[in-house]
């Protein structure tokens, strides 16, 4: 089998100058680690976790006391403990590399722009820190936010974590039930919200939602309303125990920040599972584990350095927000955006990249595909010379979109498809800047991450599809789940399939080059005739057809087997006639295999998705089978589910 030509290969100078290569050389000098190639060094990092993570701590200049021990009970999962004697503070590390210029730049869909210097960020964090302390907030208390991706959100998180409080956030487009399903479980003492937001050219006032939410959070001592639409004062006046952020900040003078140094495992964030099949799980992440994992990914895998300008298109309800803000710890400037990336048109984010000299452009696979289908060619319309990395996540990036990035966005760029999740607030597989990029493949496993693909017998495989697992404990494993005192829910989520092995729930495949292909979620895989098929394999074929804007695939129980059902949202004016159905089936048969060919194809007006833009195959499967969807509040467009109920096309 011939090896395909890479889409991009780093130059020898870039490899030599990379932080990844410097780390490999430092590991060789200190521990005798192999530094000749990435695969050998990755193997060393997994087999030698204590020296590896100790080196990352030192090389990244983590502020705090490392302690003597690096790993205790390293063979237990869960149960392993990294840096059990360490003391550190997450916010202190994010603010330690303060520079002279912008700490953050914000651009809102309404053309609202704001720049926050490092000094201004320190001042805002100081005033909020004093306010929280004046209210008696301390270690372990929860502070919840329903906020856009704006500078005030970052400052509030830093103030909360500086005193050892635990931060949790969602985006303001959540409905009251969705917010309460999440935050009522964790009983916050402070609630922070905006007065509204912009989306798709429209103002969205959320004062009515806030009036419903706050009575459902009886533990809240103080609500802070952040001004975005100009109504914060009026909104706060109508709520109990609420005040506008401007009044809070005006009540305190800037003072030197004080940081509470706490154990490595001290809770930092509570993130929530998507919740489309039940009440969201509350996943608790540690301060030390999150910091060290993000530093490793930013410095060595993403190549982020002081002075870089780092962007990720995300909301505060997606773990990529938590990942993005950690770039402050590398001395980078955060480029924040809130709103629709297609209002008024698909050039919005490329305008931002050009205007701000963006060096790291992070977005979703769906966004790249939408830009492709709009027919945009940013390399011909924008100066993207500063962009070194384009990163994609949220769903598998199709081979056609890999090609599109190099053909239409930028030829000389490191395209880093990444995959991990809320469960680890980071990545299992991601970009490796010293390796080539091949079509359709994530470049490799993260350093220190013992990632394998196992078959149903629990044996590692290459070139075969199977379960993505991690066979050794890693720093970014959750501390546990909230309200799960005996750890039963936590163990059930990841460790029931294979004993003492993290089973992530992705259907994946290693290639002979050491890259990975994600074929979809394991619980959404199709099993016609007992053969497992990844939904991404079907989407990669169908969504390249100009007639099809997007697709969703499920397995329908039928005649003592499972049949593949494909739902398609069609381009304007297109009709799903016999010719188009035949063309779709031919495309799937030739591009994937005869087993992938859908038994039924149904046109729908909309496809339901989560707030972070992921399609919800499981929820659609429930509707098709006449079963209730337990948590529609997790969806951005729950009304779309009705389109899949009682379809005549699926009755025979």
Looking at residue 553, which CATH number applies to its domain?
3.30.300.30
Q: Is residue 566 part of a domain?
A: yes
Rounded mean pLDDT, 495-520: 94
pLDDT of residue 589: 87
45-93 pLDDT, tens digit each: 999 999 999 999 999 999 999 999 999 999 999 999 999 999 999 999 9
12-54 pLDDT, tens digit each: 999 999 999 999 999 999 999 999 899 999 999 999 999 999 9
β 190-194/142-146 pair status: parallel
CA–CA gap between residue 296 and residue 82 (Å, rounded): 15
Q: Is the pLDDT of residue 529 over 90?
A: no
The length of the chain is 652
pLDDT of residue 562: 83
Q: Is residue 600 part of a domain?
A: yes
Q: Which of the residue ranges 15-19, 101-105, 590-594 would you say has the lowest mean pLDDT? A: 590-594
Q: Is the pLDDT of residue 212 over 80?
A: yes
Q: Is the pLDDT of residue 631 over 80?
A: no
For the entire predicted model, the pTM comes to: 0.90
Q: Is residue 599 part of a domain?
A: yes
Overall number of domains in the chain: 1
Q: Is the preceding peptide bond at 78 cis, omega within 30 degrees of 0? A: yes
pLDDT of residue 2: 65
For residue 608, the enclosing domain spans 525-650
Q: Is residue 633 part of a domain?
A: yes
pLDDT of residue 536: 84
Question: Given pLDDT bands bounded at 50, 70 and 90, which one contains residue 277?
Answer: low
Sequence-ordered strand ranges (E) for 394-523: 414-417, 419-421, 426-430, 444-445, 451-454, 466-470, 480-481, 502-510, 516-521
Q: Is residue 235 part of a domain?
A: no
8 Å CB contact between 409 and 388: no
Q: Is residue 55 part of a domain?
A: no
Q: Is the pLDDT of residue 394 over 90?
A: no
Higher pLDDT, 344 or 267: 267
β 267-272/502-510 pair status: unpaired
Q: Which of 358, 265, 385 is nearest to 304 (CA)?
A: 358
Rounded mean pLDDT, 280-286: 95
Q: Is residue 586 part of a domain?
A: yes
pLDDT of residue 530: 67
Q: Is the preceding peptide bond at 344 cis, omega within 30 degrees of 0? A: yes
CB-based contacts of 420, cutoff 8 Å, min separation 6: 393, 426, 427, 428, 429, 430
Strand order, beta sheet including 360-364: 113-117, 102-108, 333-338, 309-312, 360-364, 389-393, 414-417
Q: How far is CA 81 from CA 374, 401, 495, in A?
A: 49, 40, 17
Q: Which of the residue ranges 78-82, 120-124, 523-527 would you say has the lowest mean pLDDT? A: 523-527
Q: Please state, rounded to an integer, the average pLDDT across all residues of the chain.
A: 94
Q: Is the pLDDT of residue 276 over 60?
A: no
Rounded mean pLDDT, 192-216: 94
Considering the chain, what percentage of its residues have pLDDT values greater than 70?
Answer: 99
Q: Is residue 545 part of a domain?
A: yes
pLDDT of residue 275: 60
Q: Is the pLDDT of residue 634 over 90?
A: no
Q: Is the pLDDT of residue 3 over 80?
A: no
Question: Given pLDDT bands bounded at 50, 70 and 90, which one contains residue 592?
Answer: confident
Rounded mean pLDDT, 203-212: 94
User: For residues 82, 84, 87 and 92, what is the CA-based torsion angle, rounded to 10 degrees?
Assistant: 20
Q: Which of 503, 513, 505 is nearest to 443 (CA)?
A: 513
């Amino acid at each position: 089998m011939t090896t395909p030509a890479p889409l991009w290969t780093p130059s020898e100078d870039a490899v030599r100058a990379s932080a990844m290569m410097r780390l490999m050389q430092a590991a060789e000098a200190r521990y005798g680690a192999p530094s000749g190639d990435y695969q050998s060094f990755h193997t060393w990092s997994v087999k030698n976790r204590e020296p590896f993570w100790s080196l990352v701590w030192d090389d990244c200049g983590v502020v705090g006391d490392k302690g003597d021990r690096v790993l205790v009970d390293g063979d237990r999962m869960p149960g392993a403990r990294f840096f059990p004697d360490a003391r550190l503070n997450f916010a202190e590390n994010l603010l330690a590399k303060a520079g002279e210029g912008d700490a953050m730049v914000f651009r809102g869909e309404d053309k609202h722009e704001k720049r926050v210097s490092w000094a201004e960020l320190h001042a805002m964090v100081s005033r909020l820190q004093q306010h929280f302390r004046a209210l008696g907030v301390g270690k372990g208390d929860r502070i919840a936010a329903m906020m856009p991706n704006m500078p005030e959100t970052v400052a509030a998180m830093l103030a909360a974590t500086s005193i050892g409080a635990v931060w949790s956030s969602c985006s303001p487009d959540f409905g009251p039930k969705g917010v309460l399903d999440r935050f009522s479980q964790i009983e916050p003492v402070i609630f922070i919200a905006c007065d509204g937001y912009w989306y798709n050219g429209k103002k969205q006032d959320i004062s009515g939602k806030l009036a419903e939410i706050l009575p459902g959070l009886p533990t809240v001592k103080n609500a802070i309303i952040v001004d975005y639409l100009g109504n914060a004062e009026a909104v706060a006046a109508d709520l109990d125990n609420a005040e506008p952020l401007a009044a809070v900040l005006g009540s305190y003078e800037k003072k030197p920040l004080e940081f509470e140094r706490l154990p490595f495992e001290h809770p930092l964030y509570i993130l929530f599972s998507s919740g489309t099949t039940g009440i969201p799980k509350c996943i608790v992440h540690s301060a030390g584990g999150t910091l060290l994992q993000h530093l490793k990914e930013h410095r060595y895998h993403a190549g982020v350095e002081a002075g870089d300008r780092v962007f990720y298109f995300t909301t505060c309800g997606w773990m990529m927000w938590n990942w993005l803000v950690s770039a402050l710890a590398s001395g980078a400037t955060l480029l924040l955006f809130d709103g629709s990336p297609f209002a008024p048109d698909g050039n919005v984010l490329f305008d931002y990249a050009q205007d701000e000299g963006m060096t790291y452009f992070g977005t979703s696979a769906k966004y790249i595909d939408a830009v492709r289908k709009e027919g945009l060619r940013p390399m011909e319309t924008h100066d993207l010379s500063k962009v070194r990395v384009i990163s994609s996540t949220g769903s598998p990036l199709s081979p056609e979109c890999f090609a599109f990035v190099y053909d239409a966005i930028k030829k000389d760029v490191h395209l880093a498809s990444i995959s991990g999740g809320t469960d680890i607030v980071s990545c299992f597989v991601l970009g490796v800047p010293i390796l080539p990029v091949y079509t359709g493949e994530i470049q490799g496993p993260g350093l220190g991450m013992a990632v394998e693909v196992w078959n149903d017998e629990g044996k590692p495989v290459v070139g075969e599809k199977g379960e993505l697992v991690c066979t050794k404990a890693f720093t970014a494993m959750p501390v546990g789940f909230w309200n799960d005192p005996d750890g039963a829910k936590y163990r059930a989520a990841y460790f029931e399939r294979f004993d003492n092995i993290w089973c992530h729930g992705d259907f994946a495949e290693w290639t002979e080059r050491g890259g990975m292909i994600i074929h979809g979620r394991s619980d959404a895989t199709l099993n016609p005739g007992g053969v497992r098929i990844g939904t991404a394999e079907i989407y990669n074929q169908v969504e390249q057809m100009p007639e099809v804007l997007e697709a969703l695939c499920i397995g329908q129980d039928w005649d003592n087997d499972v049949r593949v059902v494909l739902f398609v949202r069609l381009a304007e004016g297109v009709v799903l006639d016999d010719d188009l159905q035949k063309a779709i089936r031919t495309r799937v048969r030739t591009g994937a295999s005869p087993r992938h060919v859908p038994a039924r194809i149904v046109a729908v007006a909309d496809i339901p998705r989560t707030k972070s833009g992921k399609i919800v195959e499981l929820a659609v499967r429930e509707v098709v089978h006449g079963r209730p969807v337990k948590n529609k509040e997790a969806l951005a467009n729950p009304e779309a589910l009705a389109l899949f109920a009682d379809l005549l096309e699926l009755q025979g």
